[in-house]
Amino acid sequence: MVRKRWTKRDRGYLSRNHERKTRAELAEHFGVSVDAISHQLWLMGLTKRDRWDEKRDQYLQENYLFLKNQELAERLDTTPIAINNRLIRLGLRRYFQWTPEAEQFLRENFLQKSDSEMADALITTPESVSKKLRRMGLKRPPRTRKPD
């Protein structure tokens, strides 16, 4: 990945437009990531502080269990790190409470369904399903490759 060399002209554009355009729009303009824009704004002392209001906090509380930090960041025009920090400040944690019913669902479906499909049905992450399958000792048989 090639790092962007920020010119005076680039910094001037950021300075003039960082309040009017979203970070996603600025990132698209420069062909860089939202994180690169946020970092450059921080270096320039142009970060937006205390942008969290009740409306944004409420959105986080209603959606943090269903969306990843990256998706939340895109929708709230901030960075995934800012989302993570705010979740911590609000005392919001993502975790899935495994019930006997959920474990039975895994036993009945792990051979037919993918981790993602089971995660969607249980409203958790594929990573959580994968870890639980390992802890339960449930292994799928190795896939055989068809001859070329």
Q: Where are the domains of the chain?
A: 1-49, 50-94, 100-136
Instruction: Specify the pTM.
Output: 0.44
Using CA atoms, how far apart are residues 128 and 139, in angstroms rounded to an integer?
15
Using CA atoms, how far apart are residues 119 and 148, in angstroms rounded to an integer?
33
Q: Pick 100-136's CATH classification: 2.40.50, 1.10.10, 1.10.3470, 1.20.120.
A: 1.10.10
pLDDT in tens, 78-130: 888 889 999 999 999 887 789 999 999 999 999 999 999 998 888 788 999 99
pLDDT on residue 125: 84
pLDDT on residue 114: 94
Contacts 24+ apart (CB under 8 A), 138-142: 138/106, 138/107, 138/110, 140/110, 140/111
pLDDT on residue 48: 60
In eight-state DSSP terms, residue 144 is: P
pLDDT in tens, 8-61: 999 999 999 988 888 889 999 999 998 899 899 989 988 765 578 899 999 999
Using CA atoms, how far apart are residues 65 and 83, in angstroms rounded to an integer?
13
In eight-state DSSP terms, residue 147 is: P
AA letter at 58: Q
